Amino acid sequence: MFRSFSWRQTAEAAVGATRAGAAYGRLGGVARGGCAVMLSAVLAVAISRAQQPPPSNASLAQKPSDAGVHPVLAILRDQEAAWNDGDVERFMQHYWKSDRLTFSSGGKVTRGWKNTLANYRRRYPTAERMGKTHFKNLEVFPLGETAALVLGEWFLQRQPDPLHGNFSVVFQKIDGRWVIIHDHTSRAADEKQGDAT
């Protein structure tokens, strides 16, 4: 177990250690001098660190308030338009065309771009079954310069069974282009659970 000390506690400990070192250093002047120099350096580092602000999480992910101009939002809007036009193939163009693409839904994981497209075609064979979709409450968390996490809600208007739920997608910039490398989509808890693709 690690304990957290204030700089004053650290300084008091260092002073106590210096006194103990001085007593021990009576065996030889070199040992006493070396101990004092070393403990002085430790004390200086401890005080310096105590005065520094705590590390920021900004290096891992920026706040979603910075998301308004992120390029992945335009991609999601294009996916909405493609879906509402009944164009599954265009909708899928924004996914990574790789066998390593992953899509999690309904407790299952689909791997690969072709398999994901096949699932969409099977579950939404016609424009009527696709209905009209809309994404809301989008939050983009940039993960460095070449990746981003997006959280949001999806709504599917169709008769007789409209659906809604939430999603999280991971974008990565590959060969200069933002693509979805992972999608986790689920239905709302008040609806029958199942594969959203």
What is residue 197's predicted lDDT score, i.e. its pLDDT?
66
Q: Which residue has the higher pLDDT, 164 or 59?
A: 164
* Residue 168 contacts residue 149 (beta carbons within 8 Å): yes
Interval 127-148: pLDDT, tens = 999 999 999 999 999 999 999 9
Q: What percent of the chain has pLDDT over 90?
A: 59
Which residues, including other chains, have CB under 8 Å from residue 154's CB and lie 6 or more apart?
A: 133, 134, 135, 136, 164, 165, 166, 167, 185
Q: Show the tokens assigned to 191.
A: 């609806």
Q: Which residue, 189, 192, 186, 165, is CA-closest to 106?
A: 186
181 or 62, greater pLDDT: 181
Domain boundaries, the chain: 7-51, 60-187
- Residue 191: what pLDDT? 55
Q: Would you state the torsion angle of the CA atoms of residues 5, 9, 12, 18, taken in this order, to the nearest 10 degrees? A: 0
pLDDT reading at 180 higher than 80:
yes
Fold classification of 60-187 (topology level): Nuclear Transport Factor 2; Chain: A, (3.10.450)
Q: Are the beta carbons of 96 and 180 closer than 8 angstroms?
A: yes
Average pLDDT over residues 76-99: 97
When the pLDDT of each residue in the chain is averaged and rounded to a whole number, the result is 76
pTM: 0.65
Lowest mean pLDDT among 3-7, 77-81, 88-92: 3-7
pLDDT tens-digit series, residues 98-118: 999 999 999 999 999 999 999
How far is Cα 14 from Cα 114, in angstroms, rounded to an integer?
A: 64
